[in-house]
Amino acid sequence: MRIEKGASLASFFLPPQQTRRVMMHDNMRQLYEAIKRDFPDSQPAFTEFPSGAAMLDVTVGAETYVMEYLPSLRLLGISRMSTATFG
């Protein structure tokens, strides 16, 4: 058996759907740790859900950016939450 450089150990023990989720969570967690370390004023928050979904929120000034991973749809998205008020 040949092991690729950078291969996740999870890929040997988990089905493909779970392997993808574990790798995505690991990557998002590493990004969270890097942001927390390098930009502490950004107030990052990382949340994992039982469904396998995950969210990384980062506040920069008055703006909040959200990275969302939805394994059921196989989607990763990044959006900006608006701080505008209406009315």
Q: Which 3 state secondary structure label does DSSP give 22?
A: helix
Does residue 33 belong to any structural domain of this protein? yes
- Count: domains in the chain: 1
Per-residue pLDDT in tens (0 to 9) along the chain, 87 residues:
344 444 444 444 444 555 555 677 788 888 899 989 998 888 899 999 888 889 999 988 888 889 898 888 878 888 887 655 554
What is the spatial distance between Cα 26 and Cα 76, in angstroms, rounded to a whole number? 14
Does residue 41 belong to any structural domain of this protein? yes
Q: What is the per-residue pLDDT for 47?
A: 92
Q: What is the per-residue pLDDT for 5?
A: 47
8: phi then psi, degrees, rounded to nearest 5: -80, 135
Does residue 1 belong to any structural domain of this protein? no
Does residue 31 belong to any structural domain of this protein? yes
Does residue 4 belong to any structural domain of this protein? no
pTM for this predicted structure: 0.67
What is the spatial distance between Cα 68 and Cα 78, in angstroms, rounded to a whole number? 6
- State the residue range of the domain holding 76: 9-81
